[in-house]
Amino acid sequence: MMGMEKMEKKIPLQTVERMSLYRRILEELHGKGVANVYSHQLAEMVHVSPAQLRRDLASFGSFGNISRGYPVYQMIVTISRLFGTDTLQNVALVGVGNLGRALLFYRGFEERGFHIAVVFDIDSEKVGRVFAGRRCHHIQDLEAVLPDYSITMAILACGQQNLQSMVNRLGQAGVRSVLNFVPKQVHGPAGVNVENVDFAARLEKLSFLNRFGSAR
């Protein structure tokens, strides 16, 4: 029986990231009608050792009978519960420029348990308009609007000006996690997690690998 035991120790972030990858591969297998998968098969698909995969899963409890393989659908359900994405979570989006609008139309968020429920911008020409079914609010109304949507996560796709101040305001308004797509490093105040995503930096890394081969 697949279960989820109480975690007595802090789980490494690398393990959490691999669990997300496991779920994505399991969803692909489920879509192909695969009912069970052995640890060595799943490990090969995600390019980790079978021992590493088993250690990762063991960090969260029991995931099935190894001799019969792991039940694919039940693993998806359990990992989703671990992430809190077995039900849709409302997310706020700050910035409705080209990137922001692209994120609004990206179906992958809802497929993984996240719904962009409310959007904000500073541009008066965008405020009041509807983008992908969401009415845009002025950023100055952030504190008044967020409680209506039970928001604890936000995505930043806005300009760089006053970005750290924006993160601080989000934290004070109850947001606990921020995904930052703006090419400027920000830090979360106490109790707020920030994930900075710099597309240009990723391209620089790939450019380096093009020149010098695999990193060591």
List, for residues 175-209, the tens digit of each pLDDT value: 999 999 999 999 999 999 999 999 898 899 899 88
Judge whether 122 lies within some domain: yes
Check which CATH number belongs to the domain holding 179 and give it.
3.40.50.720
Distance between CA atoms of residues 103 and 134, nearest Å = 12
pLDDT tens sequence across 12-26? 888 999 999 999 999
Question: Could you say which residues of the chain have pLDDT below 70?
Answer: 1-9, 62, 64-66, 214-216
Q: Model-level pTM greater than 0.85? A: no
Helix, strand or coil for residue 140? Answer: helix
Q: Are 63 and 75 in contact (CB under 8 A)?
A: yes
Find the domain containing 37 and state its range. 13-81
Indicate which CATH number applies to the domain containing 58.
1.10.10.10
Q: Does a structural domain hold residue 207?
A: no
Please check whether residue 206 lies inside any domain of the structure. Answer: no
What's the confidence (pLDDT) of residue 116?
A: 97
Whether 71 and 102 map to the same domain: the answer is no
Cα dihedral: 203, 167, 194, 119 (round 10): -70
179 C-beta neighbours (distance < 10 Å), count: 18
Q: Are residues 75 and 93 in the same domain?
A: no
In this prediction, residue 1 carries a pLDDT of: 40
- In which residue are the tokens 């399991």 written? 26
If asked whether residues 101 and 164 sit together in one domain, one would say: yes
93 and 143 assigned to the same domain: yes
Largest CA distance in the chain: 61
Asked if residue 74 and residue 99 are part of one domain, the reply reads: no
Same domain, 188 and 103: yes
Residues 27 and 128 in one domain: no
Instruction: Identify the CA nearest to 195 among candidates 154, 150, 161, 149.
Output: 154
94 and 70, same structural domain? no
Number of domains in the chain: 2
* Residue 215 within any structural domain of the chain: no
